[in-house]
C-alpha cells in the first residue's frame, strides 16, 4: 500500500462525523428557538433540554473549526500560489453562493409577505442591503442581516 493518499480518497471520518453532529446541534437549536418543538421540550428534563437544544448555537463555531481542518487536509498537497488560491475561492463560491442566494431570496419574499399582511414592524431590505448581502459584505458595511442565521 502506498504511503501517499490521494486527495479525492482522503477522508477524516471522525472530523466528518463531528461536523455532522455540530450541524445537527444547530438545527435542533433552531427548532427550539422557532417554537417548533415546544411540546417535546416541556417533557424533557431542563438539563437535557438546555444541553441539546438551547446550547446548539455552539455548534456553529465547532462546525467552522472542523471545516477548517477538513479544508487544510484536502489542500495539504496543493501549493498555495495566487492562481491556486483564486481557483480555490472560486470553487468555494460556486458551491456556497447559490444556496445562500436562494435563502436570501426566500427571506426577502417572506419579509414582503409579512409586510403585505400588515406586519409593518418587519422592514423590507433596500437595494443597498440586498447588494451588500449578494457580495457577502453586509457586516463590513454595518448593515443588519436579512436573515438572522447569516
Residue 137: pLDDT band with limits 50, 70, 90: very high
Q: Among 10, 145, 126, which Cα is nearest to 76's? A: 10
Q: Do the beta carbons of residue 29 and residue 54 sit within 8 Å? A: yes
Sign of the torsion formed by the C-alpha atoms of 47, 21, 66 and 145: negative
Tens digit of each residue's pLDDT (9 = 90 or more) over 35-73: 888 888 889 899 999 999 999 999 999 999 998 888 888
Q: How many CB atoms lie within 10 A of CB 10?
A: 13
Spell out the domain ranges in the chain. 9-77, 88-150
Task: Give the whole-number percent of the chain exceeding pLDDT 90.
Answer: 43
What's the confidence (pLDDT) of residue 126? Answer: 93
Q: Write down the pTM of the prediction.
A: 0.63
| Per-residue confidence (pLDDT) for residue 10, from 0 to 100 | 55
Q: What is the pLDDT of residue 5?
A: 45
pLDDT of residue 1: 45
Amino acid at each position: 500500500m502506498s504511503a501517499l493518499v490521494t486527495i479525492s480518497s482522503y477522508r477524516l471520518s471522525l472530523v466528518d462525523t463531528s461536523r455532522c453532529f455540530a450541524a445537527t446541534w444547530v438545527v435542533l437549536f433552531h427548532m427550539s428557538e422557532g417554537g417548533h418543538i415546544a411540546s417535546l421540550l416541556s417533557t424533557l428534563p431542563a438539563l437535557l433540554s438546555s444541553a441539546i437544544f438551547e446550547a446548539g448555537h455552539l455548534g456553529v463555531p465547532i462546525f467552522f473549526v472542523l471545516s477548517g481542518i477538513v479544508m487544510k487536509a484536502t489542500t495539504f498537497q496543493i501549493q498555495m500560489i495566487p492562481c491556486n488560491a483564486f481557483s480555490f475561492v472560486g470553487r468555494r463560491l460556486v458551491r456556497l453562493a447559490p444556496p445562500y442566494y436562494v435563502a436570501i431570496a426566500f427571506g426577502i419574499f417572506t419579509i414582503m409577505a409579512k409586510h403585505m399582511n400588515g406586519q409593518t414592524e418587519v422592514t423590507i431590505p433596500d437595494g443597498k442591503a440586498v447588494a451588500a448581502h449578494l457580495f457577502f459584505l453586509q457586516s463590513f458595511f454595518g448593515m443588519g442581516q436579512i436573515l438572522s442565521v447569516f
